Amino acid sequence: MKFLVFTDIHENRKVLPELVQRAQQKDIHFVICTGDFSTFGRGADLVLKEFNALGKKFLVIPGNHEDTEGWLDQAIRPFSNCVNLHRQAITIDDYLFLGYGGDGFAMEDAGFRKIARKWYGKYNGQKIVLLTHGPPFGTTLDRIGNRHVGNKDYRNFIERIRPQLALSGHLHETFGAQDMIGTTKCVNSGKEGVVIEMK
């Protein structure tokens, strides 16, 4: 199973066709975006239309630029291949993809803690890929200067449930960064995207 993941393109019209071109290759089974594909909603239709036309699943969570309640559900409604994974779970092959988008600035998130308890009770022991917009705390993905600005609740969940992979974005300063939390690989794919193969 091979997929393309990207984040924070903010409707960038130079990067978008390059991502679409890579996504349409036969080896890519589906595409993931971990938020901020628009600029406060502007350009969303263009991005969704381009990936929908590929005929492959496009899993997306909202970033802080798509964080208005219910906005993403409405935006993707005309696009049958696009899936809003915010607070949702989807199984592809034998991997479970869990999505939680929005914000990116909070170091703690009571809403995430609530759904994380449900997910832990329901999915613990499965092969999991976690999608968040903001990065987990205490990694190279959330370091700005000599401070860590990521989310502690995301990190706690990762340490507890041990997903195979944790994908995030939000911090442009750490585009391309990768790190480990225990056995979990953490990736900020950046706007140019990364191809990931899961076996």
Q: Tell me, what CATH number does 115's domain have?
A: 3.60.21.10
134: DSSP letter: S
Give pLDDT tens digits for 55-67: 999 999 999 999 8
CA distance 20 to 159: 34
Number of domains in the chain: 1
Q: What is the pLDDT of residue 104?
A: 85
* Residue 180, strand partner residues: 185
Nearest to 111 by CA among 76, 62, 65: 62
Report pLDDT for 199: 87
| pLDDT < 50 stretches in the chain | none
Give the model confidence (pLDDT) of 87-102 as tens digits.
999 999 999 999 999 9
pTM of the model: 0.97
Range of the domain at 178: 2-197
Q: Which two tokens stand for residue 187?
A: 């990736």
